[in-house]
Chains A and B, each alone.
Chain A
Amino acid sequence: MSDTKQQVWVFIEQREGKPADVSFELLSKGRKLAESLRGELKAVVIGHDLQDLAVETFHYGATEALLVDHPELEHYSTLPYSRIMSQLVDEHRPRIVLFGASFIGRDLAPRVASHTRSGLTADCTDLQISDVTYLRKDYPELLLQIRPAFGGNIIATIICPDSEVQMATVREGVMEKIPLDRPVEGQVTQVAYTPEEVDHLVRIIERHHEDAKVNLKAAPIIVSGGYGMGNFQNFQILYELAHAIGGEVAGTRAAVDAGFIDHARQVGQTGVTVRPKLYIACGISGAIQHRAGMSDSNKIIAINDDPEAPIFSVCHYGIVGDVMAVIPMLIDAYKHKLK
């Protein structure tokens, strides 16, 4: 190992100059990983007019922000962004690079991993540093990339023993965003960008982007439904409950796939991770991918007609019964007690 410190990088994602929450969450996690490696945390900021954003990363522990600032980089585009990121990784060989598992991160990370021939694991639910013995060889301080796999029947720990650069994507909300009381005295390093013809092979000719309509992460109470709600009509009762007690409605992947609810409201490994004060799981069996996104909730109520459903192993209050009968009783009881 050389004298230079091992580097943990986080790609900072933004739209219209507004940073994605997941990038700060990853900086907070990256800071811990860098501490374990006795290394340093760096942010890569690509876009236009982003000096302030580069400085903001110091509030989450980055000691250096690599800033690639150019008018032509204002909007994310695969070819220039992946070319820039790949060149930076090739040049600096960071030990770890983290991306949000977002529309942008999932478009960018695989291209960078392919170019630099790095191992990349998608949708990790935990990241740790540990010494590993793999096939009787010892590898110090590898990144353990932990994720549910195979329909949630197993939890896999993935490693990249022979990959100089280890890459991972993580969904929004999985890691906690922890701003520092006092920002690090970091350094912004400008990196030049020279447009090339290949950067313009795909052009944006129109774009519509609204701010998120729902912010499940900020909701103190979440009423969530699964495939066990039966149909779209039944699912609507969750809005009545949410309205009565002041919560947001969410769903499992199965509920999204069945068309009961929009993907923007999906909780779980491939959706959002939430930690509300109260999570009411209705007609949810409780596959590991779903539990990964809600098991840190302060209190969990589970309503399911199957007493063997795995959701009962993570809940605090379990109700075995028909959701369509229980929910109206719950609404009545709430109104009676609190209004």
Chain B
Amino acid sequence: MSYHSIVMVKQVPDTANISGQVMKPDGTVNRSKLPTVFNPEDKVALELALQLRDRYGGTVRVLTMGPAKASDLLRDCLYMGADEAVLVSDRKFAGADTLATSYVLAETLGKLAPYDVIFAGRQAIDGDTAQVGPQTAEKLRLPQITYAEEILSAQDRTITVKRKIDNGFEVLEGRLPLLITVVKDAATPRPFRAKRVMAYKNARTLMELEKMADANSLLYVDQLKDDYVSKGLFIPTLTADDLDIDTARCGLGGSPTKVHRIESVVLGGSTHETIPATKDGMYGLIDKLMDDHIFG
């Protein structure tokens, strides 16, 4: 039996490499200055989905909610081997917390049904919350297996998954369809395939085609879209209007959590005692620690 997977992926700011320019003087974050990366665990999730397809056949689609810029991420997924990439993007979705994000994702997944497995990274490095996967599963009334380390097997309508727990592991057997979130060590993502890069480097989302049409009066979006669809290079793009959703549950307005205050981290004046990095320095330090009743 073959399986149809959808992988939820996210383009994230590279929080590990934040430079000075990224922080504005008022302590807020200048997102436009942040370099972006493929959220590492989402990439591993895509790899697991591709492995499932390699083993049993089927399809792998990817879905991201994000700004127009997220199209780069979707092309990366096509280069790795995804059969199709879908962007859901709308200004109305901006500022969403995990609950509002999972609402839009669940509604979009409803449009993309049927599917057997939904994959996602355990968490994204820009928030580390690990909430969007389970919240999406709950909204779709799907079972979930979080912290997946390995897909052991799939047979008919069940999948067997090894998952991490504190100081150990569990092997779970779940009825399909279900949602799986994946930890980093589950697999090593395959590199881009040169052939696929050549084939998909010109794949475009609707927003990108609109931009092309804006820049050239001889081009019309509808024509461009037809052209790209016929060449297999159109990245399906959904907006709030394409989804039958309650916009009051989307974006900042639909998010129950709000940022009340942001403080940039200001370090207090240093009051520590400097110990010279010498043999005598170390002897002195041990004496001090004995006076502090830590040693001796």
Binding site for B on A (CB under 8 A): 15, 78-79, 82, 102-103, 106-107, 109-111, 113-115, 117-123, 132, 134, 144-145, 148-163, 201-213, 221, 245, 254, 264, 270, 277-278, 288, 298-299, 301-303, 310, 312-313, 315-322, 325-326, 329-330, 332-334, 336-338
B194 close to A (CB within 8 Å): no
Assuming A149-B127, A153-B22, A333-B282, is B167 touching A114 (CB within 8 A)?
Answer: no
Bound-state Cα–Cα, A42 to B257, Å? 23
Q: Enumerate chain B residues within 8 angstroms of A132, measured Cβ to Cβ.
A: 260
**Distance in Å: Cβ of A223 to nearest Cβ of chain B:** 13
Task: Tell me whether A201 and B175 are in contact (CB under 8 A).
Answer: yes
CB distance from A91 to the nearest CB of B (A): 18
Bound together, the chains give a CA A320 to CA B168 distance in angstroms of 40
A207 to B171, CA, bound (A): 6
Task: Report the nearest B residue to A208, measured CB to CB.
Answer: B168
User: Is B259's CB within 8 Å of the partner chain A?
Assistant: yes
Contact A154–B262 (Cβ < 8 Å):
yes
Q: Which 10 A-B pairs have the closest CB atoms?
A: A321-B277, A119-B256, A151-B15, A333-B282, A209-B168, A206-B171, A110-B131, A110-B134, A114-B135, A163-B256
Q: For chain B residues 257-296, which have a beta carbon within 8 Å of chain A?
A: 257-265, 267-270, 272-279, 281-283, 285-290, 292, 294-296
Determine how close the nearest CB of chain A comes to the CB of B266; give it in whole angstroms: 10
A156 touches B160 (CB 8 A): no
Given contacts A113-B131, A317-B272, 15 further A-B contacts (CB under 8 A): A103-B147, A107-B146, A110-B135, A111-B134, A120-B257, A153-B29, A156-B262, A205-B171, A205-B173, A245-B295, A299-B294, A313-B272, A333-B282, A334-B286, A338-B295
Contact stretch, chosen from B65-73, B74-82, B136-144:
B136-144
Q: Kindly report which residue of chain A lies nearest to residue B169, judged by CB atoms.
A: A208
CB pair B146–A150 under 8 Å, yes or no, is: no
Q: Would B144 and A107 count as touching, CB distance under 8 A? A: yes
A333 and B283 within 8 A (CB) = yes
**Once the chains bind, are B130 and A207 in contact (CB under 8 Å)?**
no
For the complex formed, measure the closest distance between the CB of B256 and the CB atoms of chain A, giving whole angstroms. 3
Give the docked Cα–Cα distance between A123 and B110 (Å): 30
B-side contacts of A245, CB under 8 Å: 295
Contacts A153-B18, A212-B167, A334-B286; A110 near B265 (Cβ below 8 A): no
Q: How far is the CB of A145 from chain B (nearest CB, A)?
A: 8
Q: Determine how close the nearest CB of chain B comes to the CB of A10; give it in whole angstroms.
A: 18
Q: Check A117/B282 contact, CB under 8 A, given A157-B259, A319-B277.
A: no
Residue of B nearest to A333 (CB): B282
Q: Would A313 and B262 count as touching, CB distance under 8 A?
A: no
Known: A114-B135, A206-B170, A319-B275. A301 touches B285 (CB 8 A): yes
Partner pick for B260 among A79, A157, A221, CB 8 A cutoff? A157
In the complex, which of the residues A156, A202, A204, A313 contacts B259, with contact meaning CB atoms closer than 8 Å?
A156
Interchain residue pairs with CB less than 8 A apart (27): A15-B166, A79-B143, A111-B134, A113-B99, A113-B135, A114-B135, A132-B260, A134-B260, A149-B262, A150-B18, A150-B126, A153-B265, A154-B264, A160-B257, A205-B172, A206-B171, A208-B170, A211-B167, A299-B289, A313-B268, A316-B272, A317-B288, A326-B282, A329-B281, A330-B282, A333-B282, A334-B286
